[in-house]
Structure 1
Amino acid sequence: MDAISFKLSGKTACFRKPDVNAYSYFTYNNIHKPALLGLLGAIIGLGGYNQLFEKNRDLKKGSLEYDEGFPEFYQELKNLKISIIPLAKNGYFSKKIQVFNNSVGYASFEEGGNLIVREQWLENPAWQIIILDDGTKVYQKIKEYLQKGKAVYIPYLGKNDHFANINDVNPIKLEKVIDSINISSLFNEKLLEISKIPPRGELSFYFKEISPIKLQKEYHFYEYVPLIFTNHRINDGDFSSVFSFDGRNYAFI
């Protein structure tokens, strides 16, 4: 099966979690699928949340003209199968809290209108990304833009403070899963059964994060699954979205 592989990295990144903002904003450890689709959509020029908002700005919800669908990038790309491989020891990236001021007049009702923002950033994150060829025109366009180093909009890692680097773009051929069942990418814990026996000859690691996997249609809220990165073997499960390349197995989500 054909696919395109590339390295995605940056000096910093922030994929903000929507559930905690009382003292500080926190980030997911890995780029999640909706964010990655947004990055790919920016590269080929698809519209996002702002374009959808502007389209509906003066329209009444439920009217014929009101667009109740997804942002363009998600509508076009949501069926792509993607593998995310953290390029970090045990899959964990260093993080630091950054403190800065937002001094626009409407930022805060405090005296002076200054809001102190605390935000957690990933440091030097990097992933290998593999996208399956699904035979669509939009996949071919993504492949062309990646290989030629083109982008309609600047790709960034979560926010426009964090510019994305894209390197090592290569078309690859994927095969059926190899006999030694280890998964070298993030994978859905609900689909694959992990062995409790630690691997021989190396230190065991097991990283788990509840991560966004897709958007809920009505309000565009995230839907979540537990994603795992580990060197433990896989005993059993659904291998229909697992493929092999260069001696390693990769799960696609």
Structure 2
Amino acid sequence: MNAIQMDISGQFGFFHWNKTKGDLRVTNLFISRTEVLGILGAVLGLDGYAQERFKQKHGKDSVLFSHQLQGLHVSIVPREENKPQFFDDQLIHRSMEHINKKGALMVKMKGLVSLHYTLFISKGQVDDQIFATLCDYLKKGWAEYIPYFGRNQFPLSFDFVKEVHLREAASNDLVIHSLFKEHDVEDCQIDDIDLTDGAYHYVDSLRNFSLSEQTLFTQETTLWSSFEMKPLTPVYVTEENQHIVFL
């Protein structure tokens, strides 16, 4: 399989964990496939939800990134030296129609520091021309909108963009170096978790686009682990001999 490989990194990031509301906002541990598609949509100049609301209010058509990029295959590999670390901050939201009609709102926020991921992007079911344009923009370092990690005050950078060939791995027990969904492995319950000597095992609930007409997103249990798993979905080997799956 042919794919585009790239690194994305930034000093700060925030991916809102939907279980926190009101005046406390906590980040997810990792970027989700949905947020990666939002970043790639910004590269292409496709609208996000803020632009869509603005254009609807003014009677204009909006081309939402999710409509164009939902079929893209995405694999997210967190860097082992950049395991989740956090910072605390306070934000003041001024009177805004969609946040607080009564005045300013003080919000406590727990975000991420030192983010670094390697992404693998494959065409999947995306339109040929859209994928070709995306690849061209990434290779040239172009972006129509400034890409960021969850909030526009947290810009990110693209590095080491290149075309790669991935070969399919045998479906034996192996370490999956990318994020993977709980239902894509046979059994992710580990009886004796020993986190010494650099071992890790993270579990997070990340949002993904829903195919249902009733809801826009679903929450999917997603893991990043140094323990061997039995995959139920195709696993690919990168040029650096890492095992990855597409979300």
Distance 1:243 1:165 in 2: 26
Q: Is 1:207 the counterpart of 2:202 in the alignment?
A: yes
**1:66-115 Cα shifts (integer Å, max 9, x gaps):** 98xx96210110011100111144x73111220133345877677xx443
Q: Is 1:96 the counterpart of 2:87 in the alignment?
A: yes
Q: Is 1:34 the counterpart of 2:27 in the alignment?
A: no
Distance 1:247 1:109 in 2: 53
Relative to structure 1, is the Cα distance of residues 155 and 145 closer, same or farther in structure 2, using a 3 angstrom cutoff?
Answer: same
**What amino acid maps onto 1:75 in structure 2?**
H
Q: Is 1:124 the counterpart of 2:118 in the alignment?
A: no
Distance 1:244 1:75 in 2: 29
Distance 1:150 1:137 in 2: 17
Which of the two has higher C-alpha Rg?
1
**What amino acid maps onto 2:120 in structure 1?**
I
Distance 2:58 2:143 in 1: 31
Helix, strand or coil at the partner of 1:146: helix
TM-score normalised by the chain length of structure 1: 0.83
Relative to structure 1, is the Cα distance of residues 46 and 100 closer, same or farther in structure 2, using a 3 angstrom cutoff?
Answer: closer
CA-based RMSD of the aligned residues comes to 2.9
Q: How does 1:109-120 map to 2 (within 5 A)?
A: 113-120=103-110
CA shift at 1:188, angstroms?
Answer: 0.8
CA contact (8 A) 1:195 1:232 kept: no
CA shift at 1:120, angstroms?
Answer: 1.4
**1:8-47 Cα shifts (integer Å, max 9, x gaps):** 1111011112331234111111111111111101101112
Structure 2 residue runs of 5 or longer lacking an equivalent are none
Alignment length (residue pairs): 240
**What amino acid maps onto 1:210 in structure 2?**
S
Distance 1:39 1:226 in 2: 22
Relative to structure 1, is the Cα distance of residues 78 and 221 closer, same or farther in structure 2, using a 3 angstrom cutoff?
Answer: same
Relative to structure 1, is the Cα distance of residues 247 and 19 closer, same or farther in structure 2, using a 3 angstrom cutoff?
Answer: same
TM-score normalised by the chain length of structure 2: 0.84
Structure 1 residue runs of 5 or longer lacking an equivalent are 60-65
Q: How does 1:58-97 map to 2 (within 5 A)?
A: 72-89=64-81, 92-97=83-88
Distance 1:105 1:41 in 2: 25
Structure 1 match to 2:226: 231
**What amino acid maps onto 1:102 in structure 2?**
H
**1:145-180 Cα shifts (integer Å, max 9, x gaps):** 111000011111111111011111111100011566
Distance 1:108 1:5 in 2: 41
Q: Is 1:159 the counterpart of 2:154 in the alignment?
A: no
Distance 2:163 2:67 in 1: 25
Relative to structure 1, is the Cα distance of residues 180 and 171 closer, same or farther in structure 2, using a 3 angstrom cutoff?
Answer: farther
Match of 1:181 among 158, 174, 187: 174
CA contact (8 A) 1:2 1:132 kept: yes
Distance 1:140 1:109 in 2: 44
CA contact (8 A) 1:88 1:126 kept: no
Distance 1:148 1:186 in 2: 27
CA contact (8 A) 1:92 1:207 kept: no
Distance 1:35 1:79 in 2: 14
CA shift at 1:203, angstroms?
Answer: 4.9
Distance 2:94 2:49 in 1: 25
Relative to structure 1, is the Cα distance of residues 182 and 51 closer, same or farther in structure 2, using a 3 angstrom cutoff?
Answer: same
> What fraction of aligned residue pairs are identical, expressed as a percent?
22
Relative to structure 1, is the Cα distance of residues 181 and 150 closer, same or farther in structure 2, using a 3 angstrom cutoff?
Answer: same
Relative to structure 1, is the Cα distance of residues 100 and 35 closer, same or farther in structure 2, using a 3 angstrom cutoff?
Answer: same
**What amino acid maps onto 1:186 in structure 2?**
L
Relative to structure 1, is the Cα distance of residues 47 and 219 closer, same or farther in structure 2, using a 3 angstrom cutoff?
Answer: farther
